[in-house]
Amino acid sequence: MTGENATTGPAVEPASGFGPPEDGLQRLWTPHRLVYIGGQDKPADGTVAQCPFCRIPAGDDEAGLVVARGAECYAVLNLYPYNSGHLMVLPYRHVSGYVDLTGSETVELATMTQTAIRTLTAVYGPAGFNIGMNQGEVAGAGIAAHLHQHVVPRWLGDANFLPVVGQTKALPELLADTRARLAAAWPAGRGAAPEGGR
């Protein structure tokens, strides 16, 4: 029998034989997002009609989890967050590539990202952030047709055994409460969302 000895039982593989090699990288395990990756709530195609990021601004801020609105961009909570406070900054315009943004969209996206970091820091006091965007499905963009920049607050020890072993992510606050706290703390004049909508 391969891997088994009749007198001692099954062979035991050492833990070092599993997982990625030692490389000094921090890993954020998010198995709770597998439902979304598998297709739940994903648009059927890349058209404006199917795009949730185009529909959200037309609705109510609370229902759409919009934190703040600017002239050309807005900030919204991620419906499938990596961590509490995980939000995205994106243009209203349906555009997929960073290089396709206008100059003013680029400036507002950057300014709102800075404001998001300041607001999240004031409200939640994270130890750091992951900030970035995935361009194209092959790069990991869940909705590749509409550019969005992630702002993910991070805390020491926020990736623990629960998501890795239990395939469960503990988020200590409802998204509606997170949205209300961040919207209230977002500085006026920096893409502040008027209550109730655009």
pTM of the model: 0.70
Amino acid at 124: Y
Amino acid at 183: A
Determine the Cα–Cα distance for residues 47 and 56; give it in Å rounded to an integer. 15
150 belongs to the catalytic site: no
- Local confidence pLDDT in tens for the 198 residues of the chain: 455 555 666 777 666 666 656 666 555 555 555 555 565 556 666 667 889 999 999 999 999 999 999 999 999 999 888 888 999 999 999 999 999 999 999 999 999 999 999 999 999 999 999 999 998 888 878 788 999 999 999 988 776 444 444 444 556 688 888 999 999 999 986 654 444 444
Please say whether the dihedral angle defined by the alpha carbons of residues 108, 114, 118 and 119, taken in this order, is positive or negative.
positive
**Res 21: pLDDT:** 60
Determine the Cα–Cα distance for residues 165 and 123; give it in Å rounded to an integer. 30
Neighbours of 127 (CB within 10 A): 10
Amino acid at 41: D
Determine the Cα–Cα distance for residues 64 and 52; give it in Å rounded to an integer. 10
Catalytic residue among 32, 86, 146, 148: 148
